[in-house]
Amino acid sequence: MNRKIYFRADAGVDIGYGHFTRTLALADMLKDDFECTFYTVCPTPYQIEEMRKVCKHVSLETDTFFNDFLELLTGDEIVVLDNYFYTTAYQQRIKEKGCCLVCIDDVHDKHYVADVVINHGMVNRNKFSGETWTRYCLGLKWALLREPFLKIKQEAISNKQDNIIVCMGGADPFNLNRLILEHLFGRIGDKKLVVILGIASEIVETEFPGVKFYRNLSASNIVDLFQQSKVGIFSSSTVCIEALVMGMTIYAGYYVDNQKEFYHYLTGNHYVYGLGNLLSSSFSMPEKLDFISPFDRSIMYGIKERYIQLFEKL
C-alpha cells in the first residue's frame, strides 16, 4: 500500500491562489506513487474541479480547521503545509504525532522543525532557521510546476506569435490587470493583448476593444496561450516560472511583501525585466518591450523525478 500524503493549502481573494495552485501541482507529481489527499477550507467550485483532477479532497471548516486537521493525523502520514499562519508550535504538534513534515515557504519568517522546506523562489540557505535535520529544496530546480508545464518540449516554445499576455494572479485584489491595460492600450501597434483575469478583477471588457479576456483557465489552457505569446506581464509569482519554462520574455513587478524576495531573485539573475512596485504612484511601463532573458530552461528538467525521490526517502 502506498504511503499517505496529506496536502494542506487554501485559496481566496485575501490570500490569492498561489498556495493552492503550487501545492496541488506537487500532489499531481506524486499521486501515482503515494496515496494523496488534499485538505482545504471552503473550496470554490473552481478549486473542487481542479482537485478532482488530481486526488481525493476534503473540505475543512473556517473556524476549526487548525484542530480538525490535527485530529485526522495518525502518525504515518507525510504532511505538506503551505501558508503563512503555520507557526513553529503548529509544526511541532504535527511532528509530535509522528508525521513527516514538509513546509512550502515564501517568507522564512519562522523557525522550521520540518523535515523538508521548499522555496523555489530563492537559493540562500542562510536566510532560514531550522533544525539540524531539516533539508532545504531551494531554487528553480525545485519549481512547483503544474503537469502541462512539465511536459513542454523545446519545439513548443518556438514560432510564437506577437502576442502580449497580462496576468496579475488568481485574485488580483488591486485590479492591476486594469492598470497594466491602461498603460499598454493603444500603444503596442498590431500586437494582440490577452488578459487572464483574477476572481476580483473589476474590468468592463468593452472599455478595451480588441483585447481578449479569460477567466478560470486550466493549466492546459494557459499553456496554449503561452505557446502563442512572446511577452508576458505578471506579478512575481509562480506564473513567472510557468512563463519562463515556456520561453517567454517576462516583465514582472510585485504588490505584496511576500513577492519581493522572489522579484529580486528573478531580476537579480536577469530572468525578467523588473517593473518594481506595481502599486507605486510612479509606476510605468517601458517604452519598448524588447528585453532579452538569458534564462536556461534546462535547470528545470527532471523536477517530477526529483520530488518523487525526495518523498520516497522521508
119 and 211: one domain?
Answer: no
Q: Which of 77-86, 199-208, 221-230, 244-253 has the lowest mean pLDDT?
A: 199-208
129 and 180: one domain?
Answer: no
pTM of the model: 0.93
Q: Is residue 312 part of a domain?
A: no
125 and 160: one domain?
Answer: no
Residue 156 pLDDT more than 70?
no
87 and 188: one domain?
Answer: no
Domain extent for 97: 4-138
Q: Which of 29-38, 87-96, 181-190, 231-240 has the lowest mean pLDDT?
A: 181-190
122 and 185: one domain?
Answer: no
Q: Is residue 60 part of a domain?
A: yes
pLDDT at 259: 93
**Contact (CB, 8 A) for 4 and 79:** no
Q: Is residue 205 part of a domain?
A: yes
pLDDT at 196: 95
- In this structure, what CATH number is given to the domain that contains residue 222? 3.40.50.2000
Into how many domains does the chain fold? 2
The pLDDT tens digits of the residues spanning 33-82 come to 999 999 999 999 989 999 999 999 999 999 999 999 999 999 999 999 99
166 and 295: one domain?
Answer: yes
3-state secondary structure the chain: CCCEEEEEECCECCCECHHHHHHHHHHHHHCCCCEEEEEEECCCHHHHHHHHCCCEEEEECCCCHHHHHHHHCCCCCEEEEECCCCCHHHHHHHHHCCCEEEEECCCCCCEECCCEEEECCCCCHHHCEECCCCEEEECHHHCCCCHHHHCCCHHHHCCCEEEEEEECCCCCCCCHHHHHHHHHCCCCCCCEEEEEECCCCCCCHHHCCCCEEEECCCHHHHHHHHHCEEEEEEECCHHHHHHHHCCCEEEEEECCHHHHHHHHHHHHCCCCEEEEECCCCCCCCCCCCCCCCCCCHHHHCCHHHHHHHHHHCC
Q: Is residue 206 part of a domain?
A: yes
Last residue of a domain, one of 108, 138, 168: 138
Q: Is residue 311 part of a domain?
A: no
pLDDT at 193: 94
Last residue of a domain, one of 73, 105, 138: 138
190 and 97: one domain?
Answer: no
155 and 210: one domain?
Answer: yes
pLDDT at 282: 95
Last residue of a domain, one of 138, 169, 198: 138
Half-sphere exposure (Cβ direction) of 32: Cα atoms closer than 13 Å: 7
Residue 243 pLDDT more than 90?
yes
Average confidence score pLDDT of the chain: 93
- In this structure, what CATH number is given to the domain that contains residue 65? 3.40.50.11190
116 and 82: one domain?
Answer: yes
